[in-house]
Structure 1
């Protein structure tokens, strides 16, 4: 129990950070009825939580009062990233790369579109709009739970990198590439429609001919890779940091991601289009077809 208590405090502090960050953003966005920074705030929260999951034990020594009194001095006194285990640096880097790429992409898209149509009705209702930010707290906390769990364990207790880490990084890289390609194809299609270079109402070429949500598949795949990487620690024999059931529970991260993002929003927009009905009939929803 003692071995678990210190990492548990760090994980809880990381989740509390996600909650505090999203409450702060909601306090501004909900009254103003603006969703412009919703996705960007989610990406920044992932970054902030990555920092806290690594440095909370050091920050806890100073305390919140001490940090607020001299934030710059406190930050400058923190250890170099070199003190962390390569597994921690890998998972943290994977999280930051993904969050930076997706956050900036969605933010630019929101600016170009004048907002996010998902929130056109929701943001008029304070309760429903506030719930969207609560959902983002769950997204950050659960999706990256394997990352927070690994970062919470001191480097001296981390086992050496092994085949699980290599496999996980490979899966993450494949998922990241898949998501980036799918997003770029979608962005190019949206631009072509805006410039009236195509009359197609929906995208059904490239990766979008393999599945109807290739970007979501790529995102779920990369978080699966992060989970597999975390197993290098979570399933290490003779390491009583986490209970054996925790490695199974952490699998909820990629499952939650898949359930969260596979929404049938296209059905409302194109549901009666015969071409879209045929597209749905021939193209899988999530997992891409091989041929």
Structure 2
């Protein structure tokens, strides 16, 4: 039940657009084009983060490095770049659908990225991984420095 609720709420903007007859849809418009660009960027961000971690793990298993945790590439900008990409993908879906939806459907659709963000950053994903890392690396000076300089979720660009 919980998973069905998660999927339904998260994908609501897509369901809402697809429930509107094609002849009544307004087309992408500016928000749709911006959202599409953001979606592509977000997808690539998540894929690159996942790939960087995969390569890091493969190199570690081959003893090409002895790093205890990944802190390079996108992982130097945020401790959870893959989750950031995921949240931004769903935010992009909302932006893409914006010009097609009625005000009521827009309001309901806003719950999608908010729910995804809260789920990933407050319930599953980030809190679980942060707790594991804190336990595993509590006495590791390098990790503590990484944690101090690298934001948990939102990168700092200033």
TM-score category of the 2 structures, normalised to the smaller one: 0.7 to 0.9
Q: How does 1:217-228 map to 2 (within 5 A)?
A: 217-228=84-95
Answering whether residue 1 of structure 2 is matched by residue 147 of structure 1, we say no
Partner Cα distance (2:23, 2:105) in 1: 20
* Residue 57 of structure 2, aligned match among 190, 202, 215: 190
* Residue 178 of structure 1, aligned match among 30, 45, 53: 45
Report SS of the residue matched to 1:203: coil
Task: Give the drift of 1:175.
Answer: 0.4
Partner Cα distance (2:141, 2:5) in 1: 37
Partner Cα distance (2:129, 2:141) in 1: 13
2:69 alignment partner in structure 1: 202
Task: Give the drift of 1:139.
Answer: 2.3
Partner Cα distance (1:216, 1:185) in 2: 14
Q: State how many pairs are aligned.
A: 150
* Residue 231 of structure 1, aligned match among 86, 98, 103: 98
* Residue 254 of structure 1, aligned match among 104, 110, 113: 113
Deviations 1:153-206 (A, max 9, x none): 111111133111111101101101100110100111111222222211111000
2:23 alignment partner in structure 1: 156
Report SS of the residue matched to 1:264: helix
Q: How does 1:1-291 map to 2 (within 5 A)?
A: 134-235=1-102, 244-262=103-121, 263-271=126-134, 272=138, 273-290=140-157
Task: Give the drift of 1:138.
Answer: 2.2
Report SS of the residue matched to 1:287: coil
Task: Give the drift of 1:232.
Answer: 1.5
Report SS of the residue matched to 2:20: coil
Deviations 1:194-235 (A, max 9, x none): 222221111100000001111111111111111001111114
Partner Cα distance (1:159, 1:270) in 2: 47
Shift in CA distance, 277/135, structure 1 to aligned 2, threshold 3 Å: farther
Report SS of the residue matched to 2:83: helix
Report SS of the residue matched to 2:65: coil
Unaligned runs of 5+ in 2: none
Unaligned runs of 5+ in 1: 1-133, 236-243
Structure number with greater Rg is 1
Moved more, 169-178 or 186-195: 186-195
Moved more, 176-185 or 272-281: 272-281
Partner Cα distance (2:17, 2:55) in 1: 38
